[in-house]
Amino acid sequence: MRKSLFLPASLWCVLMIALFSSCSDGGSVSISGPRLVESVTLSETAISLAVGDTRQLSATVEPQDAENKALSWTSTTPGFAAVSDTGLVTAVTEGTTVVSATTRDGSNKVASCTVTVTPPPVKITSITISSESGTLSLERGSTLQLSVTVEPEDAADKTVTWSSGNQVVATVDSTGLVRGIVASATAVTITATANDGSGVSGTVEVTVTLPSGYTEVTSIIATPSPSPIPSPLYPGDNFTISTVVDPSNATDKEVIWSVQPAGIVGLSTNTGSSITVTGVAAGTATITATATGGVDITDTVLVTVTATPSSESEFEGTWKHSMDVLNAVFVITGNNWSFTSSAPEEYNVAPGPLAGTFTADDTSITFTATSGGSGSWTQPYTFETSWSNEEVMRLYSSTSGNMLTRLLGQFIKQ
């Protein structure tokens, strides 16, 4: 019996489309799809890590225009070394594992790295400091070589960093060589700190003395010039400090200078009988002059630097309060001001006229009354440009009872 061939209508449509397509391009039929990954390469193929260490692996996927370059990271033995979704390998315990990056686009391309995990490095547990000469005392101007003994002997990193607790009295270099700078009745703590991250350190107390036969310095006087120091002293302003050392026949009359905290003033030199001091930034600093020919012989000078003042020209002009009902106006010329107001009584604003002078730095302005009233008032301020392109001076605080009590807010340049 003859069987008839029956195909669904939808399948006939597909066949007809394929037939006509093949005819239109010379008989060939092509089907295109997403570009698959052809190769994966890791930044390293074998690494060794100590327990607790990490290493970032990176992968290069080719071709560049592959549609899906996503990778899956795995470790054959995560108990030895684990790997994150981004390829960060973390050593867990001793052993060997293989970390792989596998494509996710179905191309099944894989790149691998062998990871060997070694025991963690042995760290320092103790540091003992000793001197080659067997003493921990040295004369001013001489040196003393220190060395360290670290435990355990098999520590992976036996290096240390040296530091001095008072560099004015004694310094120490990277090899442990101590240099006596100034004699002092107070010993200096010299510290050797392990560089292996263990946090272990060792210390010794070193004493600096005067050489025998010295005629000691008994006093030092540091005198600023001009005196008193200019006030306010602004960044860039300077003055000098000179010293007198007694007795006049002292063996060593050298003077060394130091300043704390740093960054407020600059010193022209660190040694010498006189220096120039220059303001750097707002704040208060203590300058110390130390006589090296005595034992703990010092004098100090306290210096205050004021923030650079704003230009008087910024304030010059007529300023009217933005609240019209106050009818409050400042007229500023140079560093002189005058004030008038016809505010209603309930606003508690002095009617004026008042007049006076002002000083200002870059954050606050101080008004001082010279006529029509007395006293001075300091107001934090800023200059701004309003949405209507008007120049605005904003005052942010007030002292109760003064003429500015009701004038907080903004004044607009007329």
Tell me, what CATH number does 69's domain have? 2.60.40.1080
Does one domain contain both 135 and 97? Answer: no
Give the residue-averaged pLDDT of 72-89: 96
Report the SS3 class of residue 50: strand
For residue 351, pLDDT over 80 is answered with no
Does one domain contain both 203 and 163? Answer: yes
Q: Among 29-33, 60-64, 162-166, where is mean pLDDT lowest?
A: 29-33
Q: Quickly list DSSP for 190-256.
A: EEEEESSSS--EEEEEEEEEPPTT-----EEEEEEESSSPPSSB-TT-EEEEEEEEESTT-S---EE
pLDDT in the model for residue 41? 95
Beta bridge partners of residue 371, listed in sequence order: 355
pLDDT in the model for residue 44? 96
Residue 410 banded pLDDT, cuts 50, 70, 90: confident
Domain boundary pick from 242, 276, 305: 305
Does one domain contain both 391 and 316? Answer: yes
Looking at the chain, the whole-number percentage of residues with pLDDT higher than 70 is 86
Does one domain contain both 100 and 131? Answer: no
pLDDT in the model for residue 395? 77
Tokens of 274: 């006189």
Tokens of 217: 């310095």
pLDDT in the model for residue 386? 64
The pLDDT tens digits of the residues spanning 127-180 come to 999 998 888 999 999 999 999 999 999 999 999 999 999 999 999 999 999 999
Does one domain contain both 135 and 189? Answer: yes
| Mean of the per-residue pLDDT values of the chain | 86
> What is the total count of domains within the chain?
4
Beta bridge partners of residue 165, listed in sequence order: none
Q: Is residue 6 part of a domain?
A: no
Q: Is residue 66 part of a domain?
A: yes
Domain boundary pick from 305, 322, 344: 305
Q: Is residue 259 part of a domain?
A: yes
Domain boundary pick from 191, 209, 227: 209
For residue 27, pLDDT over 70 is answered with no
296 vs 323, higher pLDDT = 296
pLDDT in the model for residue 303? 95
CATH code where residue 401 lies: 2.40.128
Does one domain contain both 406 and 317? Answer: yes
Residue-number span of the structural domain to which 249 is assigned: 219-305
Does one domain contain both 316 and 400? Answer: yes
Q: Is residue 28 part of a domain?
A: no
Q: Is residue 202 part of a domain?
A: yes
Q: Is residue 298 part of a domain?
A: yes
For residue 336, pLDDT over 80 is answered with yes
pLDDT in the model for residue 31? 53
The neighbour count for residue 9, using CB atoms within 10 Å, is: 6
Does one domain contain both 320 and 387? Answer: yes
For residue 236, pLDDT over 70 is answered with yes
Amino acid at 303: V
Q: Is residue 88 part of a domain?
A: yes
Does one domain contain both 47 and 89? Answer: yes
Does one domain contain both 157 and 239? Answer: no
404 vs 126, higher pLDDT = 126
Does one domain contain both 320 and 404? Answer: yes
Residue 349 banded pLDDT, cuts 50, 70, 90: low
Q: Among 28-42, 161-175, 260-274, 326-340, where is mean pLDDT lowest?
A: 28-42
pLDDT in the model for residue 3? 39
Does one domain contain both 245 and 274? Answer: yes
pLDDT in the model for residue 350? 65
Q: Is residue 5 part of a domain?
A: no
